[in-house]
Amino acid sequence: MKISIVTAVFNRVQTIGQALETVSQQTYDAIDHVIQDGGSTDGTLEILEKKSNRNIRIKSAPDAGIYDAINKGITRAEGEVIGLMHSDDFFADDQVLADVAELFEDPDVDGVYGDLQYVAAEDTTRVIRHWRSGPYDPRKLQHGWMPPHPTVYLRRKVFEEFGLYDTSYRIAADYDAMLRYMGKGGIRMAYLPRVMVKMRVGGESNRSLKHIILKSREDYRALRSNGMGGAGALVRKNLSKIGQFVNKD
């Protein structure tokens, strides 16, 4: 089973190298790494070319934002299963994709997700927040639950049946997509109880108060448009994060 990893990148010369390395170091070797660059000018393209191998396919072209770039990457993907590796993120270890592939041996599984750690940008060994997802129960969606998006792997048929990311969302298209796939779509998810991905803090959704407010508005819109609740679910979604900062081990 081939797994496609989609990386959307724009001017991430400081971090893209580690993202690529942790993909290439995976013990699972049936990997199709699709790089969708938005026209970087800071040296990112030079790093991509330097680290290129037989599993990496690079395309550089202007896009309309991260979700447009991700959609372009998914369209180019060749794998039966598709996941993401953001340019600021990296795998927790070299066995992640092997564990993902093992769960997909069950033909009834449409998607796999796991746990995620937020780490300090200046010291990636320092854990800021530990997101333990827990086993999947569709009833949790109406209480603001969702799996960590960077850990989610989906069969190609999920995108074909329920669509790609809605680019009218600037920040929360991932939340909308997860509600659409799991809520409306009723896809079957399997939980991998281990840290799969480490993410540097300071991403698009939390880099300023303005973006936090926009994220909340878009989360609310996603909940309403997918019939998964409203303000109450949004409050519970945000409150659930508190324990992730406290219980980091």
Q: What are the residue ranges in the chain where pLDDT is below 70? A: 202-208, 239, 242-249
pLDDT for position 142:
87
Show the domain range for 164: 3-246
Q: What's the structural domain count of the chain?
A: 1
> What DSSP element (H or E) covers 52?
none
Cβ atoms within 10 Å of 62's Cβ, excluding its own: 10
Task: Find, among 188, 191, 98, 120, the residue nearest to 151 by Cα.
Answer: 191
pTM for the full model? 0.91
**pLDDT tens-digit profile of 22-81?**
999 999 999 999 999 999 999 999 999 998 888 999 999 999 999 999 999 999 999 999
Phi-psi group of 39: left, alpha or beta (phi > 0 → left; psi -120 to 50 → alpha; rest → beta): left
pLDDT for position 51:
85
The enclosing domain of 73 has a CATH number of 3.90.550.10
pLDDT for position 208:
63
